[in-house]
Each structure stands twice: as C-alpha cells, then as structure tokens.
Structure 1
C-alpha cells in the first residue's frame, strides 16, 4: 500500500471500539430499565416524583403567583376547603393549593441543588482519601471523620444563623454538612477498586494518577454515587423543611417548610385548621418516600445479589 493510500477502516459488519462502547452502554441502560420496571415500589416512586416535578415546572400555568402576595390574597383568613379554594386558605387568605404548587419549586430546587454540592464534595474527597497514600490520605480521612461526628442539626442551625435566612444559605448549609457519609462510601469503594488487576496493569503501562482516577476508578464508583444521590435528596428536602420550620428559611419565598412554620406559629392545630398542616406535611412525606423508593430500586439494579434475594 502506497503512502498516499487511506488507512483501512473496520471490516464490514464490525464495530469500532467507540461504537462498541456506546452499544454496551445502551444495552446496560436497557437492562437497567427492564429491572427498574419490574420493581413496583421504585416505579410507583418515579410516578409520584414525576407528578411533583410536572407541578413544579407548570406552576405559572396552574396557579397565579400574585395570589401568594399578602396584599393580593383573594380569600379570607383560614377559610376551610370549598369549591372556590379546594384546600382552603392560610392565615393571610392565600390559597393553600397555590402555595403547595409554588412551594414544590423551592423544596425540589433546594433538595436537588444541595445534593449536587454534597455529591461533588463527597466524591472528590472520597476519591482523594482512597487513592492517595501517606499523610494527605490520613488528613482527608480524619477530616471526614471529624465532620461526621459533629451533630448535624446544631451545625446546620449555627451556619444558617450566621449566614442569615435566605434560599442560598439553606442550599449551602445542607450541601456542606451532608457530604461526609458520601465521602466515606466512595473512599471504601475506591480502596477496593485500587487493588484490582486492571488498575495494576494501567500503572505498569505508564498511566498517571489523573488518568487512573478519571478513566478507571471514577467510572467504577459512579454507580454508587448515583444510588446514594437519590437517598441524599430525600435527606436534603427533610433538612430544608426542618430549617424552614425553625424559621431559618427564606421569608420571601414559599416552601413546604415555611408553610408548616406559619401553621405552627398561628396555632393551626388548636384552631382546627387541618388544611393548613396536612397538605404540606403530606407533600414532604410523599416526595421523600418517592426518592427513597427510587434509590432502593437503583441499588437493586446495581447489586445483582439483591435481585437474587
């Protein structure tokens, strides 16, 4: 073959390594979805979560944002459910249904954003402490342990009080206080992967630390990260509800936690205004339960031993 001839391509009917990798990923996704569909509780959780996500995204179409302003409240104080206000009104005359729909945006936004921060911090610190050796790994591991033994709620309360009540404060507080568990999980998985034969061959062939982490270790720990993410979102939403209930949420935005805080402040329980307490509490329970069920289903997909049981 002369120098000007083109390099021979793959034989007809044969896939290139890149095409083969893409096909294997597609097959893995299809197998995972097939297992997920057979998991009834996980599928039910996905349906419930999808309903809340649609409500949050379609909030401008489903509820008028002006009705959330106290000066433009269309109803009376603590009106019970009726044909006009399906879930009644709060102590300012605002429709509970509109608050629930718009509150879903804040609660889901806080839960997802804080989880991203927690997952990034936990994954990076876990990878570093598991892969590195010597004093850097020891320092990262001890730092994670020290952070893990700190009381979570008091630490979150102190940070929220110092930084001031706002939506960004809640997100940061939840994100920076919920990463240690993920870091320890990723660290243990990294220590296991680091001892496998394929990583030793990579080192012998001259792969540097960065390439070993990015091309070999990270893809093997990412399924664990995804499974842990769904459970962390549930914890983040509960934490946002708790902080907002304690008066540390953003007072200018409506969330399910601030609704519960307002209901507690006016004594809705003793006043018999059940419609002010049960709907936001039920929404929190359903969303947290749906994320938990999805997480359990994903864990079963990633661990074949659970499917065998």
Structure 2
C-alpha cells in the first residue's frame, strides 16, 4: 500500500510539473529571442561595448575628445572611424558632453568592480555618417541627401538617443541575473542614469516633434517613427521601440497618444537580449554577421560564444 501511495504521489507531481511546463512554454519567446546563459562578468563585458560606443560618440561629437583624453589609459584598441564634431546648439552640446563624461565614469567603475584592471579592450567602431545612413535602407527609405547624423542638432539627437536607450534596455534585462552586491549596485546605478539620459533626450525631441529636420520635409516625429521601425525590424523580437506618439490604445493606460518614454503595456521598460543588440548595431539583422557600427564585432567571451554557436 505504501508503494502504491508513493507511486500515486510521484504521478501527481509529474502531471503537475508537465502542466507547469506547458504553461511556461506558452509564454516562452521563440529561440532567437531567448537570452544566452552568461556570468555576471560576461554580461558586463558585453555591455562594455555599448558603453564605449556611447562614450566615443558623445565625446567626439560634442567636444572632439576620446575616452583616453578624459581618462588616460582607461581603454586600448583600434581608433574609432568617422566620429565628427557635430553641428549642435550650445544647450545640446553641453548635455551630450555631460553624458559622454558620465559614460567614462561608468567604464571606469566597470574596470574597478568587475575587471580589476585597465586598460580595457576596445572594439573597432565605425561611426561615419554614411554608415549610420545605411539604417534607412532596412525599411527601404531613400533620403536625399543621405542622412547625416552630424549635420544638425535634430539629426544628431534622433540617432544618438539610441546609445542610452540600448544600454537601458540591456541593464533592465540583466539586472535580476547579476550576482554580487557591488555588481548589483553598479547595474542599478547605470540603469538609473541611462534611463534619465534617455528621458532627457526624448523630452528634447518631443519639444521639436512637429518641426522639420533639415534638409528634409519630414518632421522629428516622422523620423522617430522610422527609427522605431528600424530597431524593431532589425531586433526581430517584437515591438520594443516606439515613436514620440502612438495610437491611443497603445498609450499609457490607453488614455494618451503622448509617448515621451517608450514602454510596454504596463509602462515598464522594454528589455532586449544580447542577440537583439548585435542584430541592430551590426545593421545586418544577424547577430553573427558583424558590420555597421561594429565592423569587427564585439569584444568579450559572450559575443565569441554567440558567434561560435552561430546563434543569429
């Protein structure tokens, strides 16, 4: 009798487990939208590529400086290609410079907390205007002349905002998996800063939403809709980018079309996995095909594992 009771308990547990797994499978994202198992160090190492990209773009475009001009010996690697001092208004230049300087601080803290060494390896970056202009090919939009991020304040902010947005999305996704008190504090601090930086720039863009972006007839609002389409298409895992306005049902609590901060149906931050970021910054839609802003790929073991396993 005891054996029969024991078997009944096991059977019930197995049925319950199977039911739970079926329910879980119903909400699991498709394989290409699932995160790759990684350690805390590997996740920070992956994020370092995005931090360096932001620091190089923001410092170079605002005041013509590089990371090592601010913090000598912090990074080493190939010189970035194409970053140019942008034609920004004074207010925007100060904001961009400040955010670039903050990125240097984030990189330094990653070096202190996670890697305990400097210099940190730097990926090859290609931030030429013509490279960024290729993003519009993804949605078959032809602009005459080709898009030039460095041409004016509006053109710059429309694209540059994504350096903060991508970092915010990445840290929102990895923070629950971070191990270690100092590491968790670091991730939380960076998430807070990048969310604030993203919000500031989106607010600036919202104020200009109905104005045209020279030399085009399209408005700032039009361009934010286009860039959202590009990010969603390249990322390949659903809607995680939004323009400055959305249809009423998609607004906060279904009560507004205003969309200064892009967020999900519950106004929570969108999250992206590593392969989504690679598909976007490579402009290839494939996490294993480097190009675009990172012509030689990312540095770090997590990226190498994704490439070796051909996890596109």
**Structure 1 and Structure 2 fold alike (TM over 0.5):** no
TM-score range with shorter-chain normalisation?
A: under 0.3
Choose between structure 1 and 2 for higher RCO, CA contacts under 8 A separated by at least 6 residues. 1
Q: TM-score, normalised by structure 1?
A: 0.23
Between structure 1 and structure 2, the one with the greater Rg is: 1
Q: TM-score, normalised by structure 2?
A: 0.23
